[in-house]
Amino acid sequence: MSLRDKISSELKTAMKAKDSERLATLRLINAAIKDREIAARGDGTSGELGDSDLIAVLTRMVKQRRDSARAYEEAARLDLAEKEIAEIGVIESFLPRQLTEAEIISAIDAVVAETGANSVRDIGKVMGALKARHAGEMDFGKAGALLKARLA
């Protein structure tokens, strides 16, 4: 079952269960996907997004909500922060499992060994290989910091 089909199925289930919070988040996901498809059509490519594109859209949505939740918490608007955090939970249910720090380190070590990277100049090459292999599974901000420490 593709990711798009899974989202549609969950949307129907939320409608039947009258789960308004989950339903609202699923509709936001569908709207973000449609926006991305429209943008892709404008670029001259076909409008249909693959699972990797959908994962990128969902990852971006999670990042936006984390930023919003942090801003709401700083402004003492905990009710809005809780809503954002609940949306993050729904969106993350469609994303692949995130790698732990130990798994990120072992992935970095494997790619460094394969590419022969031995200095900070090789960070781009290693990060490119990591992004190709672990898209949606890895926090690349954390991976970049770990890689920089490893090669320094």
Of the candidates 48, 134, 50, 136, the residue with the CA atom closest to the CA atom of residue 92: 136
Q: Give percent above pLDDT 70 in the chain.
A: 97
Residue 88 and residue 145 in one domain: no
The number of angstroms, rounded, from the C-alpha of 11 to the middle of its chain's C-alpha atoms is 19
Residue 78 and residue 112 in one domain: no
What's the whole-model pTM score?
0.75
Residues written for the chain: 152
Asked if 37 and 48 count as a contact pair (C-beta separation under 8 A), the reply is yes
- pLDDT value for 139: 82
- The secondary structure of 110-128 as a DSSP string is HHHHHHT--SGGGHHHHHH
CATH number of the domain to which 86 belongs: 1.10.1510.10
Residue 15 and residue 77 in one domain: yes
Residue 120 and residue 142 in one domain: yes
Residue 17 and residue 66 in one domain: yes
- pLDDT value for 124: 87
Asked if 57 and 49 count as a contact pair (C-beta separation under 8 A), the reply is yes
Tens digits of residue pLDDT in 80-108: 999 999 999 999 999 888 888 889 999 89
For residue 116, what are the domain limits?
101-151
Q: Supply φ then ψ for residue 134, to 5 degrees.
A: -125, 35
Residue 63 and residue 126 in one domain: no
Residue 66 and residue 49 in one domain: yes
Q: How many domains does the chain have?
A: 2
Residue 48 and residue 81 in one domain: yes
Share the mean pLDDT of the chain: 89
- pLDDT value for 45: 67
Beta strands in the chain (DSSP E): none
Residue 106 and residue 85 in one domain: no
Confidence tier at 135 by pLDDT (50, 70, 90): confident
- The CA distances from residue 18 to 21, 33, 56, 83, 132, in Å, are 9, 23, 28, 18, 39
Residue 49 and residue 86 in one domain: yes
Residue owning tokens 């289930």: 13
Tens digits of residue pLDDT in 9-55: 999 999 999 999 999 999 999 999 999 888 888 776 666 788 888 88
The terminus-to-terminus CA distance of the chain in angstroms comes to 43
Residue 19 and residue 82 in one domain: yes
